[in-house]
Structures are given as structure tokens and as C-alpha cells.
Amino acid sequence: MKRLFALLIGAVIALAALCTAPAAATAATTGFSVSGGRILDANGTEFVPQGINHAHVWYPSQTGSFAAIRAAGANSVRVVISGGRYGTTSAAEVTSVISQCKENQLVCILENHDTTGYGEDAAAGTLAAAAQYWTSVKQALIGQEKYVMINLGNEPFGNAGYQNWTSATISAIQTLRTAGLTHMLIADAPNWGQDWSFTMRDNAATVAAADGNTVFSVHMYGVFDTAAEVRAYIDSFRSRGLPLMVGEFGIDHSDGNPDEATIMSYTRSTGIGMLGWSWSGNSGGVEYLDMANGFNASSLTPWGERFINGADGLKARSPQVASVFGTGGGTGGGTAPNGYPYCVSAASDPDGDGWGWENSRSCVVRASGGTAPNGYPYCVSAASDPDGDGWGWENSRSCVVR
């Protein structure tokens, strides 16, 4: 999400010449992988990222946002961090962010915001510098491949110098691979993420040939103000077997009115990942992009209501969590929404606080009523959770089924 947005480019998207992305040799990973243009999790189960962006770097104290985003129905969260432009997110803080994602069964998409608008914004950093940041915090990343995707750099070029996107992206990928980072990588488009020049669209196959575990991310704002443009761009990747997600989009924008209805419906029907911008904290005239007023999950904005509760929104989609988090069920065993295992026996919780101790670690005791460790009430009835994702709806708010 850029602070100053480029002018709307009145370009009509045309399909690129069809071709099949060649297979690429990529470092072996124990985490997410690409197969046939689709994302697979570590268990080989297809995973479609569907979630919300969270501006962590500017609001590091808003840790409750992770549980709130999960309660909204998301299975992933794109987290804004920084390698220096907005203060440096340390390895310890990266570890903390990943932990909060995992506690809430959210796949953690970490994005370095330093590169936003490079070539046009003098304060922006290069993809090469972003790659060096990722290697500097690799101790927090290695071992988390099942739960983390690395978004190389947010909107890495503005509307100047974007012709270098392909070579800069490949070079950044190589830096991470050489450092031993085998995670799924996400490459944002240039032109403030909107790729009106079709630079990413037309060169994605080249990047995929260099690294077969990279997903491409387009940000859909004013450039994508018609259904035809949205569908044509998505189809250009699907037809070539190239993995794509819509990493950001909103209900309105300073550069035009994006067609959020088509973005939401078409990503849903085609199985393409999508993450809305953003949970809360926008400023500079784009406050309408907040989904929650003042980080309050009980006070959704019009955009929040649309994205979460509207047609093709998170509640309607009911995204499946990554299979690596496991599932609950029965009277014991499985994994609770906060990432801890359910206790096999309620006797593991002698003080009745909802937490037990089994197999040398904490576990969650299933019960009815009360408050879960993540601050949400426990559901009185398991029938409140018809889709079996561990979250129910009672008394006009989300509750945890256990």
C-alpha cells in the first residue's frame, strides 16, 4: 500500500501470448510449494491465501489484530514489516509475529515495505537491499517454512525504472536461496503493484523459470476498475499455469474506483488468493481502506462489512486453514484455533482455567461457556460452527468451539 499513489493509467489489459511456464530447479523446501500454478502446503494440500493485510510496523502494539483477523474468517495475514525505512523489524520481533500468526492458525505472509515505489519515491529502497534484510533475520525464518511465505518487497517499483523489475526480482530471489531460505517467495508487481505496464505479466514466466517456488502478486486499485480488466489479468496467469494472488485491493482509491465485486467473485471462482487492504490504521486521506475503526473488531467500517460479511467475502468463502495446523474434533485431540493442541482429558486442567498439561506441553480443554485464551468467548454449542473451522457465531459475535 503506497502513501502516494500513481495517477490512473487508462490502459486496457490485453492477454499476453500464451505459453507454458517451464519447470525450474528450486531449493528443496519443507514448506509451501507451487504445482501447476497452485499453492500446496507442506502436506501437499492445496492452499488458497484469503485474508487481510495488517500494518504491524506502524502499530506493533496492536497484537490483538491477529486474533481479530482470524475471527473474521481469514486463513492468512499479510504483515507489514521493515528493514530500516520505517524502523528495523528485528529477528526477535519477526519471531514474535510468526508466533502470533501460528497461535491463530494464520499463514504468515511477511512483506518488506521498504521498496514501495522505488525509482519514483526517493525514500524507497531496492529489492537488493530488501533481500539483504531477509538474510539478516534468517534465524527467525528458517524452520518456519510450513507457516511463512516471504513477500520480497512491497510494490518494488513505482512508475520509473520498472523495466528492471525482472532482473532485480531474480537477483533478490537468488540472494535468499543462497542464504538457505527455501520458503515460498512472493514477488510483487511494479507500477506501485498494479502492473499497468504488464511488466510482471509478460516476464513472470522468466522469473518462474529461475525459481519454481515463487508466486506473483498484483495489487488491484484504480487500474482495475472494470470486470474485463480484472478477469483478463487473472486469466493471463491461469492460462499459462503461473501462480498468482491479489495481494492488495480496496473498495475505493485516489487513483480510481477498483471493481472489488469482480475481484472478490473472480478470485473465489478461480481459486486465486486474495488479501484486502487493510485491517486498520490507514491515514493520509485513505482512511476509508480501514476495515475496523480504531482496530476495534466490533466496529467494522463499510469496507470491513463488505469484505468480511458481504457477497464473496470471508464469511461466505469460509477459507480452509492450512492443513499443517490440523483440525479439532471429538472430545479431545486435534488443534485449537490458537495453535495449541486440544487436551485428550479434561482432568489435565485441575484448576479449571481452560488450560491443561499433556505430553510435556500446554493444551486447551474443551468445554462450554467461559473465555478462550485468545480473549474470545467459548461457544455454548458446537452447532454454532457449521463449517467446522473452530469458530462459531453466538450472541452477535464470534466464539471459539472446543
Residue pair 186/218 in contact (Cβ under 8 Å)? The answer is: no
- Write b or e for each residue in 47-83: b if 16 or more Cβ atoms lie within 10 A of its Cβ, otherwise e: bbbbbbbbbbbeeeebeebbbbbbbbbbbbbbbbbbb
Give the long-range contacts of residues 138-142, CB within 8 A, separation 24 or more: 138/179, 138/180, 138/181, 139/91, 140/91, 140/92, 140/94, 140/95, 140/98, 141/94, 141/181, 141/183, 142/180, 142/181
- C-alpha cell belonging to residue 310: 458481504
* CB neighbourhood size of 361 (10 A): 9
Strands 33-35 and 38-40: antiparallel
Helices (H) and strands (E) in the chain, counts: 10, 16
Residues 338, 365: Cα–Cα separation, whole Å: 12
Residues 6+ apart with CB under 8 A from 352: none
Residues 104, 145: Cα–Cα separation, whole Å: 17
Distance set, CA 117 to CA 160, 190, 268 (Å):
9, 8, 29
19, exposed or middle or buried, with CB in 10 Å at 0-12, 13-18, 19+? exposed
Residues 366, 178: Cα–Cα separation, whole Å: 45
- C-alpha cell belonging to residue 344: 485428550
Residues 325, 342: Cα–Cα separation, whole Å: 12
Residues 6+ apart with CB under 8 A from 396: none
Q: Peptide bond before 269: cis, by omega within 30 degrees of 0?
A: no
Q: List, by residue number, the catalytic residues.
A: 155, 248
Residues 6+ apart with CB under 8 A from 136: 83, 91
283, 284, 287, 293 alpha-carbon torsion, rounded to 10°: 30
